[in-house]
Structures are given as C-alpha cells and as structure tokens.
Amino acid sequence: MPLSRRGSGTLTTPGGQHLAIHTRTQDDETLPHATKRTMADHLRRLETLFTLTPQRLRMITHAFRETLDLGLEKKEQVVPMIPTFVFGWPTGQEKGDYLAIDLGGTNLRVCLVHLQGQGKFEVTQSKYRLTEEQKQDEGQKLFDFCAESLKTFIDSNSGEDGILNIEPGQNLPLGFTFSYPCRQDSIDHGVLIRWTKGFGAPNTEGHNVAEMFQKSLDKFELPVTLTALINDTTGTLIASHYVHPDTRIACIFGTGCNAAYMEHVKDVPKIKDLGIDGDLDMAINCEWGAFDSFEHEHLPRTKYDIIIDESSNKPAEQAFEKLISGRYLGEIMRLVICELIDDGILFLGQNTYKVEVPNALDTALVSLMESDPTDELLMIIGIMSHFFALETTLAERQFLRAIARLIGRRAARLSACGIGAIVGKMGYLESGCNVGCDGSLYNKYPGFAGRIQEGLVDIYGEKARNIYTHHAEDGSGVGSAIIAAMTKARKDAGVYVHL
Ligand code: BGC
C-alpha cells in the first residue's frame, strides 16, 4: 500500500522488505491535527448545513400537514396514510393470553402476552437477531423463519411446567407485527407497498404478506389463528393508551421512523365506499418516513444525505426516514468524518481505513459520543481507538461531539415537524395530548425527547408545552396482543366482521 497523503501506509524497501509506517505519536498534544481555528471554521459550515431555523420548521410542518391530508383523501399517495381497521381505543379491560410475533428492523421477537385488564399485563418473550442475508433472501423463507421461531417458542413453553396451556383443538389468537408499509383491505390482510430499513427480500413487495405468513403457519401446523396484521406504530398507539388513556399519537424513532394516530372515519374520504359509520374512529398508520420522497421539495438534504440515499438499496424512497432514523445517523456522521479526513482536518498522519468502511459507525456510538460526560471525553477516546484504531486530540474529540450533536438535533427537530403536523390537524394544541414514543433513538439518544419539545415550541410557541412525549409501552408485543383481543371482541360481536 502506498503512503497515504497523511503519511501512513506500507513501503517496500529496495532490499524487498516491507515497512509499515505510522506517523502518529503517542502524545495527545503533539498529534498532528488541524488548528482549532480551522476546525471551528468547519464546524460553522456544518452548523449552517444541519441547523433548522424555527421558520424552516414551520414551513416543513405546513407541507407535512398538506401531505397527510392528501394521503387521507386519495389512494396511492407518497405518504399513504393507511387505514388499519383498528376501531377506536381499547377499554383497558381486554384480558386473556395472546401470541404476538414481531418482525422489526433488527430482530424477530416472539411474545406471549397475558393481558390482565386495568392496563396491566405480563410478557414472556424470545428474541432472535435477523442476519443481513435473511433480509435479502426469498420472502417466503423469511416468513418460514418467523413460523419456525414461533413453533420453537410454543414447544418450549408448553407442557406441564410451561406457561402455555393450549387445549387440543384450541387455537390461540396471534397478532403479527409487520413494521413495513402495507396497504390493508381488512385487519388480517396487507399488501407490502415497499420494503424499508434495508430489507429487500424478493417476491414480497406487491404480495399479501398475511397470506404468505399463513402459508408458513400451515406448514408448521401451529395451533394459532392469525387475527391481526399490525404496524409497530399502531401497536404502540394502542398499548400506550391501554396504560395512559390520554395518549393520542404514537411514534417510533428506531431503525426506521413512523407515526400512527386515531382519526375520525368521516375524515378519511378515501374509504367512504366501505360504508363504515363515519362517527367511528380508526387508527391510521401514516408511514411518514416516505414524506418528500421522489420530489425532494421540502426537506433540507445535505450532500451527505444524498450520498446515503443514492447508495441505499432504495434510492429516492423514505426521504424523511433517511434524515432521522437510527439506520442512517451513524452513516451521516461517518461521511462527514471521511470528508474531513480527505480535507486534511482530522486524524492527520494516521491510518484511517477502518472508519472509511461504509456503515462502520453505528448510530449507538454516535449517541455514546454525544453523551460522554467526562471533561477529557474519554468515551470518545475509547470508541475511536477501539473501533477505528484512531488516536484523537481533545480538540478533535470536542469537534466529533459537536458533529454528533448537530446530527441528533436535526433528527429530533424534523421529528417535531411530523408530530406538529398531526397535532395541528387534530386540534390537540389547545386540548393538549400525550405522544407515546418508542425506539432506540427516543430511548437512548441523549436529549432526543427534549429537542422534540424544543422543536414543537419553535413551531407553535409556548402552547406546544401542552404536548408531551413519553416512553411508550411495548407496542409490537403488548399492542399487538391488545389489538388481537379488540379484533376478536369486535368480530364476536358481529361488527364489520369482513374488515
Ligand atoms: C416502516 C414503518 C415502521 C417504521 C418504524 C419504517 O421503515 O416503513 O412501517 O413503522 O419503520 O419501525
């Protein structure tokens, strides 16, 4: 390998010997690096790129609201505003045992949820990490894996000492949490519009995933009835309301991002032909990650965002999600770092190949960098040396932390625009409301919740303090079970049994 511009690499001597050259020194202060002044100049440039003014937030919120309305009015819109056939809120008295299977962005979970009523429940679960290969393999194989995992769970929890007691001939109701955009004609049906979060399993988009999953359940002869196909946001909405009845909106800020809320059926013109009583309420899965996809008219995309989009397996899609969610924030920061390495600003004289590998910087590390509590920023020293074999000066570490802060803050403020659009549309500003939020960013990224609130205040002024976000209940497990219970009760009562 030739010497890099920064002086590291290997050389072959005339005598044929290989030499590894590292120009770095051990002393923090004497590491070659750009001056503080140069770093400050670059930081100012990045601040301009990543900072959203209150006025910009208001413009985005306005466009967002129009987009939400359009999705309710017409079918096949970019933000599809999916009617979920979850009618109204739970009573809080739903009871019984329900199985839930949750195919999220990173893991597969199988849960047995014991609903006890009065907002109480118990959950027993098993979790399996999904491999990158599984995400790209045949869709039917993915559903077979889900069914097989469910079988293992049922087998290992049944029997004399087990928590599952299924009588011969009895079937347990099953909620399937499938957190990708699906067009639904009824609660146990859903045609996958598009994969998101890096999935690409062939022969699944355009297919009814409930039917595909049923085929896998039949193959393993499982004692279950697939009662409801739900999105994680819808589950979160219902589970949060079960515990906090003032919840009106639910959001996921994790590997992907999205929101659901409860809408009046009369305000969803595109389902008028179904003849549902207009006075009823129905949960809407917004699929807001798609906001501003394709046209790119409203969101402030930087050159780093454009690189991420173009090198993703779904260019032009999920434009909003790509600026916000955990799948992408680490990569945004890595691209900024790589540019600064190329410009000779960071890590002078060091071998930087490890950080130059795409997706090498996990969003969890960005959040750790931002939350480093030490004056010397020891956490950042650890991260940079352990994962990337890089030594850092204090000035470089402060600079890295400032970049992490800019990226995290932009994500939270954009999220506020989505919440602000629903709040404005539903008139919750005056009445106030609680927003149940879940996902790794919301739960672990330092200051994420506070920055959402700060963004809402920038959009609506002090009135926005009526809007609270809170850490939601487990929507994909508990929410799925409650929805299965609500659906069973609705159908047993003969209400819209075909939906
Ligand atoms: C999916 C949504 C999901 C969100 C959060 C997005 O990529 O399209 O269906 O709710 O991720 O998991």
In the chain, how many domains are there? 2
The residue among 205, 233, 261 that closes a domain is 233
Regarding whether 145 and 286 lie in a shared domain, the answer is no
Q: Checking DSSP bridges between strand 107-117 and strand 120-129, what pairing results, if any?
A: antiparallel
Q: Are residues 249 and 313 in the same domain?
A: yes
- The answer on 150 and 70 residing in a single domain is no
Residue 13 lies in a domain: no
Identify whether residues 71 and 142 lie together within a single domain.
no
The answer to whether residues 253 and 379 belong to one domain is yes
Given 176, 206, 233, the domain boundary residue is 233
Distance CA 179, CA 477 (A): 12
Whether 493 maps to a domain, the answer reads no
Domain closes at, from 200, 233, 266: 233
Report the CATH number at residue 266.
3.40.367.20
Do the domain assignments include residue 44? Answer: yes
Q: Do residues 291 and 432 both lie within one domain?
A: yes
Check if 65 is active-site.
no
Residue 188: domain span? 92-233
Å from CA of 476 to ligand 1 middle: 12
Instruction: Name every residue whose Cβ is closer than 8 Å to that of residue 241 and which is 6 or more positions away in sequence.
Output: 89, 90, 247, 436
Distance 11 CA to ligand 1 centre (A): 49
Mean pLDDT by 10 residues, the chain (499 residues): 43 44 48 75 94 97 97 96 96 89 88 88 90 91 94 88 81 92 95 92 95 94 91 95 93 96 97 94 98 93 96 93 96 96 91 95 95 92 95 94 96 98 95 94 94 97 94 87 92 91
Do 431 and 339 share a structural domain? yes
pLDDT given at position 117: 85
Nearest CA to 164 out of 225, 99, 103 is that of 99
Does residue 426 sit within a domain?
Answer: yes
Q: Are residues 186 and 258 in the same domain?
A: no
- Residue 428: half-sphere exposure toward Cβ, Cα within 13 Å: 24
221 within some domain: yes
Q: How far is ligand 1, taken at its centre, from the CA of residue 259, in Å?
A: 8
| Minimum-distance ligand 1 atom for the alpha carbon of 182 | 9
Confirm whether 305 is domain-assigned.
yes
Residue 459 CA, ligand 1 centroid: distance in Å: 25
Write the CATH number for 113: 3.30.420.40
Residue 179 Cα to ligand 1 midpoint, Å, equals: 5
Q: Measured between alpha carbons, how far is 444 from 153 in angstroms, rounded to an integer?
A: 29
Q: Whose CA is nearest to atom 9 of ligand 1?
A: 180
Residue pair 308/345 in contact (Cβ under 8 Å)? The answer is no
Centre of ligand 1 from the C-alpha of residue 257, in Å: 5
Whether 299 and 216 map to the same domain: the answer is no
Examine the residue annotation and report whether 218 is marked as an active-site residue of this protein.
no
Is 317 inside any structural domain? yes
Judgement on whether residues 306 and 406 belong to the same structural domain of the protein: yes
**Which candidate in 194, 397, 405, 490 is catalytic?**
194
C-alpha distances out from residue 188 to 143, 277, 472, Å = 15, 20, 24
Among 121, 122, 99, 95, residue whose Cα is nearest residue 110: 99
Catalytic residue (one of 6, 109, 149, 179): 179
How far is Cα 302 from Cα 430, in angstroms, rounded to an integer?
Answer: 35
Residue whose Cα lies nearest atom 7 of ligand 1: it is 256
Q: Which residues line ligand 1 (CB under 6 A)?
A: 105, 179-181, 196-197, 231-233, 252, 254, 256-258, 287, 289, 321
Spatial CA neighbour of 67 closest among 262, 263, 314, 287: 287
Given the residues 144, 188, 232, 438, select the one marked as catalytic: 232
Ligand 1 atom closest to Cα of 197? 7
Q: Considering only CA atoms, which of 475, 490, 491 is closest in space to residue 179?
A: 475
Residue type, 177: T
232 is catalytic: yes
Angstrom CA distances, 314 to 200, 309, 310, 317, stand at 9, 7, 8, 6
Q: Which residues of 239-275 are buried (b: 16+ CB within 10 A; e: fewer)?
A: bbbbbeeebbbbbbbbbbbbbbbbbebeebebeeeee
**Domain identity same for 288 and 437:** yes
483 found inside a domain:
no
Same domain, 160 and 50: no
pLDDT for position 37? 76
pLDDT value, residue 28: 55
* Residue from 197, 291, 317 to probe ligand 1 pocket by mutation (most atoms less than 8 Å from CB): 197
Residue with CA at minimum distance from ligand 1 atom 1:
180
